[in-house]
Amino acid sequence: MAGRLVIVGAGQAGFALAAKLRALKDARPITMIGSEEVIPYQRPPLSKKYLLGEMTFDRLTFRPDTWFAENDVEIRLATYVEEIDREAKRIRMQDGSTLDYETLALTTGSTPRTLPASIGGDLDGVFTVRDKRDADRLADEMKAGRRLLIIGGGYIGLEAAAVARHLGLEVTLIEMADRILARVASKETADIMRAIHDGRGVVIREKIGLTRLIGDDGKVRAAELSDGTVIDVDFVIVGIGVTPNDRLAQDCGLGVGNGITVDEFARTSDPSIFAMGDCAMLPWQGGRIRLESVQNAVDQAESVAATLAGGSEAYDPKPWFWSDQYDVKLQIAGFNLGYDETLVRPGAREGSVSVWYFRDGRLIAVDAVNDAKAYVTGKKMLESGINPDKSVLADPAADLKQLLA
């Protein structure tokens, strides 16, 4: 039997790795180490249904707590790894205890960026949203009539705005770039999503940054914006991106660069150590990317499980993402990195639309807004290597199915 696998991180990737190994009948000893006090759970619903009170925490957990003992997976909660000793193949926890491994998996995820204390980032009432503790603290603030400032116009910020408006809060969102979703989506998709939020009463201010947060007795009370205006606020959500948790890897001399550098099998520069999920920088079409998605965390982890169980198939990412905002479902297939052309296609139903991305004439991604047919069709095209006829794609009366023939 193979030696012990230690999984550092008890999120989506870490759990998927353990679960897949057991599904493959791999019997090696497994120890999973998590920094939170609760068993592994889904994170995406935290900022949506959980925060809205529509989903209880027990529905978020991947498996009941009995699963771990039943599947001979040791799980240590509320525990941090301080150091990796690669030569001894040993990790040291914050309490000084150690654990030997034969194989180490780093599924450490990422951490939300925060505001500097010098501009009020350490005031009470300033939040990020990443784990259950964040969501629980935020739930106490989400009361109708309160004034919320959201800093950052990415998906986290927009999803938080949707929840807050649904609960009856007054919401202002600022984005210092020229537009919302500047890093992750086209202008066309951004325009669609902005109009949706405008229609729900969110005040979106683009090309506006934060100068400082103003506190009273240690609690945030107002915000001074880059145009000189000052707005009263009751609390603030910061959604300005994340940083990969790669300190352990860096400290022990593994290759890093905006994440832990891995090969097509998710191996790091040490063949005994793997990394996957949000913390990993993986090969992609001749370059390297970090994919912050549930899909990648699960698929990459399951690929590693297959490798550990004796397989030899490289991980080939098939990216897809989603974002729920109000009654709008945005589904994304592919990865739009380096696109140079977009095509907007109205959907069959009112309010449905899709944006198709091309690079050098080839389809690379599609954003589908309340348009499941466009999403499914686009995903199939990308996975099959089919390049659609743009004249058919541009015709809203044309049946998308003919593009798959």
Together in a domain, 360 and 299: no
6 class by beta-carbon count within 10 Å (0-12 exposed, 13-18 middle, 19+ buried): buried
Which of 238, 256, 286 terminates a domain? The answer is 238
**150 backbone dihedrals φ, ψ, rounded to 5°:** -110, 130
What pLDDT score was predicted for residue 89? 98
Residue 218 resides in a domain: yes
Domain membership of residue 318 (yes or no) is: no
CATH number (domain holding residue 300): 3.50.50.60
Both 173 and 210 in a single domain? yes
Cβ-count burial of 216 within 10 angstroms (0-12 exposed, 13-18 middle, 19+ buried)?
exposed
233, part of any domain: yes
Report phi then psi at 263, rounded to 5.
-95, -170
SS3 130: coil
State how far Cα 343 lies from the chain centre. Answer: 26
The answer on 100 and 35 residing in a single domain is yes
313 is a domain residue: no
Angle at 195 between CA 189 and CA 200, to 5 degrees: 135
Residue 148 domain flag:
yes
260 φ/ψ sector (left φ>0, alpha ψ -120 to 50, else beta): beta
Same domain, 284 and 397: no
| 256 and 228 share one domain | no
pLDDT of the residue at 173 = 98
Separation CA 317–CA 309 (nearest Å) = 20
Query: Minimal CA–CA distance to 300: which of 259, 250, 255, 247?
Result: 259
Domain tally for the chain?
3
* 81 belongs to a structural domain: yes
Non-local CB neighbours of 334 within 8 Å, separated by 6+ positions: 319, 320, 357, 363, 364, 365, 366, 378, 379, 382
Final residue in a domain of this structure, among 203, 238, 273: 238
CA torsion through residues 264, 245, 211, 140, sign: positive
- Does 316 fall in a domain? no
In this structure, the answer to whether residues 228 and 279 fall within a common structural domain is no
Query: Is residue 270 in a domain?
Result: yes
- Say what the pLDDT of residue 47 is: 83
Same domain, 230 and 140: yes
Do 264 and 289 lie in a common domain? yes
Domain region containing 25: 5-111+243-308
Contact of 12 with 297, CB cutoff 8 Å: yes
292 CB-near residues (< 8 Å, 6+ apart):
110, 242, 278
Q: Residue 405 has which token pair?
A: 């023939």
pLDDT for 123: 98
Residue 388's CATH number: 3.30.390.30
pLDDT of residue 405: 72
The alpha carbon of 190 is separated from its chain's Cα centroid by a whole number of angstroms, namely 19
Per the CB < 8 A criterion, the answer to whether 379 and 320 are in contact is yes
**104 plus 250 within the same structural domain:** yes
> pLDDT value at position 402?
86
| DSSP secondary structure of 379-402 | HHHHHHT----HHHHT-TTS-GGG
User: 3-state class of 97 per DSSP?
Assistant: coil
Question: 15 and 103: one domain?
Answer: yes
Kindly state the helix (H) or strand (E) to which residue 280 belongs, with its residue range: strand 280-284
| Residue stretches of the chain with pLDDT short of 70 | none
Confidence at residue 349, expressed as pLDDT on a 0 to 100 scale: 87
Confidence at residue 51, expressed as pLDDT on a 0 to 100 scale: 87
Q: What gap in Å lies between CA 393 and CA 401, rounded to an integer?
A: 10
Question: Do residues 186 and 335 share a domain?
Answer: no
